[in-house]
Structure 1
Amino acid sequence: MKTERLILRPLRPGDAPALAAYRSDPAVARYQGWELPYTVQDAQQLIAEMAGRVPGDEGWVQIGLESLAESVLLGDVALNTSGRQAEIGVTLTLAAQGRGYAAEALRVLISHAFGSLKLEQVRAEIDPRNVAVERLLLTLGFRHTSTEYGGYLNRGEWTDNAVYRLKGEEWLT
């Protein structure tokens, strides 16, 4: 999949150092569920687990975001498909944040989910303190449907978990 500025592509073994670097950045990982530090070995394991997986396969599929202009890994998006619905996720390097890349990548991924994959609903779960991602989801047409207060254990801290949903017919209109 391509956008004006990005290639959404499978993660490759050569991505491991960059993947480990941005996922180990405390500012990038603050609201994410993986353990820190995120090592090159962790990245290699994730890349190996994703080998041959494509969006629409059951379970999580991580997809690399490569800059067309610079040919560097800017982050990754994810699609966790289960039946007729999926959950999305996005992680960007600190340098790539605030430049519209997440919206650009998620628009393509969501269009693929509702178009080619014929899914009925896409959801996202976030820490409600992550106001940048909350704004992003609302901009993309998601609606906040629930918040579980103190229901998510993240690195030893009980945090809130907000759920946002988007139905296919809402995306197409």
Structure 2
Amino acid sequence: MLLQTDRLLLRRFRAGDAPALAAYRSDPDVARYQGWDAPFPLDAAERFVAAVGERDPRAEGWFQYAIERRGDGALVGDVGVNRHDEGRQAELGFTLAPGFQRQGYAAEAVRRVVDHLLLEEGLHRVHASLDARNDRSARLLERLAFRREAYEIQSQFWKGEWTDDVRYAVLASEWSRS
């Protein structure tokens, strides 16, 4: 376990997580705004889990936190952190399994990761980039005091179509007051 909240453990992925990861990443609604296509085969999930389980969460590049529900150990989803700018900034991404959406788990997990990055580790800024049609993720970031910084029209060619991109961010100085 790396981070925790009242209801969640944010930890490294383990081999046993691959079936649940493959299941939620295979849902077309979950995959719609993400960088993979559905279905997400079990062998791809096994490779992903093996690769991310070895990464250093403090190193530059992507680290993926598995979100586990305390008590029953269910894999709720994941939060990705891409550290860059010599560790001063990070990009954030998050995915929740359909059966765990709309229960506050995403906000709880993202809030804990951002607390860790900005308040405990002293990063300067955390940002996220979303497909403009991803209203639920945009609302979550806005509830967590992220600021919408840009709306780029047809700036991404994504899964066969031009899409609008929305960028959100929060500075450590802003987060400490939230």
TM-score normalised over the length of structure 1: 0.96
Gaps of 5+ in 1: none
Residue of structure 1 equivalent to 2:72:
70
The separation in 1 between residues aligned to 2:40 and 2:157, in whole angstroms, is: 18
Gaps of 5+ in 2: none
Q: Deviations over 1:19-69 (max 9, x none)?
A: 011001011111112122211111112112212323321111011011113
Q: Secondary structure at the match of 2:37?
A: coil
Query: Contact between 1:80 and 1:86, CA under 8 Å: does it hold in 2?
Result: yes
Q: Secondary structure at the match of 1:158?
A: strand
Query: Contact between 2:119 and 2:176, CA under 8 Å: does it hold in 1?
Result: no
- Letter paired with 1:5: R
Q: Secondary structure at the match of 1:115?
A: helix
- Letter paired with 1:77: V
The separation in 2 between residues aligned to 1:34 and 1:117, in whole angstroms, is: 30
Residue of structure 1 equivalent to 2:46:
44
The separation in 1 between residues aligned to 2:8 and 2:53, in whole angstroms, is: 20
Query: Contact between 1:56 and 1:113, CA under 8 Å: does it hold in 2?
Result: no
TM-score normalised over the length of structure 2: 0.93
Q: Secondary structure at the match of 1:146?
A: strand
Is 1:97 aligned to residue 101 of structure 2? yes
Q: Which has the higher contact order (CA 8 A, sep 6+)?
A: 1
Q: Secondary structure at the match of 2:120?
A: coil
CA-atom RMSD, angstroms? 1.1
The size of the alignment, in residue pairs, is: 173
The ranges of structure 1 where at least 4 consecutive aligned residues each deviate by more than 3 angstroms after the TM superposition are none
Q: Measured at CA, do residues 124 and 59 of structure 1 come closer, stay the same or move farther in structure 2, by a change above 3 Å?
A: same
